Amino acid sequence: MKIEVGPVSRASALAWLDYAIAAVADLRRVGTTSVSASAIDGFDELITTWRVAAKRPGPFHWETDEPAERVEYLMKALYTAGLEIERGVETHGMQLRPKEADEFHFVLVRQVLDTLALEGRSSAEFVESIRNEWLIARRD
């Protein structure tokens, strides 16, 4: 399936990427069991790819083709990582996402889920389920 993120402010994308690098390092440092090592590796790959896209002039824009199953897996892991980080602020000194990164984060989550919802019944059910749990993923 074709996945597209953007256009979105390059400044917000860069703020999110800086945050994501620190968040991935924190998840590895803490040794979380709620987010798999393969998901964290997947985040690392995307961060590296998105850093290249963020160096281009103008708004951030990126697209690729990925199997729907991988997209679902990484989106669920992104949600779970966010919960882990929220819990880890007090216990492990993790940092919350900065406000400057919100625009990119919201665009990323909503665009990917909107696209995934069109991939068939199973994917649409996954999207509905995660939107019921993840406040920023909701369309209301």
Check if the beta carbon of residue 126 is closer than 8 Å to that of residue 72. Answer: yes
Residue 138 pLDDT class (50, 70, 90 cuts): confident
Confidence check: pLDDT of 88 > 80: yes
Domain count, the chain: 1
Handedness of CA 94, 86, 90, 97 (dihedral sign): positive
Residue span of the structural domain in which 85 resides? 2-137
Q: How far apart are CA 74 and CA 38, in angstroms?
A: 9
pTM of the model: 0.95
**Six-digit token pair at 37?**
């090592």
